[in-house]
Structure 1
Amino acid sequence: MGLFLFASLLEIGGGYLIWKVLRDHKGKIFGLVGALILFSYGIIMTLQPANFGKVYATYGGIFVVSSIVWGYWIDKKKPDRFEIIGSIIVLVGVAVMFYFPR
C-alpha cells in the first residue's frame, strides 16, 4: 500500500508540474522536474510484487482517491458528495481485486 501511495504522489505531482508549465506558463525547469518525477513513478510501479495488470488495476483506484485528496490539499477544492461516494466505491473495488483470494 505504501508503494501505491508513493507512486500516486509521484504521478500526480509530476503531472501537476507539467500542467503548470502548459497551462500557467511556468518555466521549463518545472517541466523538466515534472518529467523526472513522472519517470520516477514508472520505476516505483515496477517494485510491486504482483503481475502488471493486477498492479495497475489496483493502483488506478488508489490514484482516483489520491487525486481527490490532492485537489483538496493543493488546489483547495472541497470534494462533493459524489466524489466521496465514488471514491468509496473505487476503494471497495480495489479491495476486491487485490485482497480477495483466488
Structure 2
Amino acid sequence: MVEVTSTIGIFFFAALLEIGGGYLVWKWLHDHKGKILGLIGGLILFSYGIVMTLQPADFGKVYATYGGIFVVSSIIWGFWIDKKKPDKPEIVGSVIVLIGVAVMFYFPR
C-alpha cells in the first residue's frame, strides 16, 4: 500500500510540475509575459523529468501510466486555474483513463 501511495504522489507531483511549467511557458509566449516566466517554466519542466525517474517501474510503463494521470491533472488544472468547469464527457473520460491506469500500473502480474 505504501508503494501505491508513493507512486501516485510522484505521478501527481510530476503532473503539477509539467503542467505548471508548461503554463508558465505558455504565458510567456502566448500572452507575451516576461522572459523570466519562460525561464522559470523551463526549469520547472526540467525538474518534472527528474521527478519521473523516482518511479520504481520501467520507463515505458511509467510514461504510459503518467499519460493518464496527465489527462486527469490537466482537467483539474483547467478547473482550478482557468475556471473551466469540466463537462460530463471530460469527467467520464477521466474516470475511464484512471481505471486504465490502475489496471496497467497496479494490476498484479
After TM superposition, the score normalised by the length of structure 1 is 0.99
Q: Distance in 2 between matches of 1:21 and 1:83?
A: 28
After TM superposition, the score normalised by the length of structure 2 is 0.92
Matches within 5 A, 1:62-77: 62-77=69-84
- Amino acid across the alignment from 1:34: G
Runs of 4+ in 1 over 2 A off after TM superposition: none
- Amino acid across the alignment from 2:66: Y
Q: Which SS does the other structure have where 2:82 is aligned?
A: coil
Shift of 1:8: 0.2
- Amino acid across the alignment from 1:82: P
Q: Distance in 2 between matches of 1:2 and 1:101?
A: 20
Q: Distance in 2 between matches of 1:99 and 1:27?
A: 42
Aligned partner of 1:59 in structure 2 is: 66
The counterpart of 1:92, out of the listed 99, 103, 106, is 99
Aligned partner of 1:50 in structure 2 is: 57
Q: Which SS does the other structure have where 1:67 is aligned?
A: helix
Aligned partner of 2:13 in structure 1 is: 6
Q: Distance in 2 between matches of 1:65 and 1:3?
A: 14
Q: Which SS does the other structure have where 1:101 is aligned?
A: coil
Aligned-residue identity in percent: 81
Aligned partner of 1:101 in structure 2 is: 108
Q: Distance in 2 between matches of 1:48 and 1:100?
A: 16
Q: Distance in 2 between matches of 1:73 and 1:79?
A: 11
Matches within 5 A, 1:34-45: 34-45=41-52
- Amino acid across the alignment from 2:92: I
Which residues of structure 2 form unaligned runs of 5+? 1-7
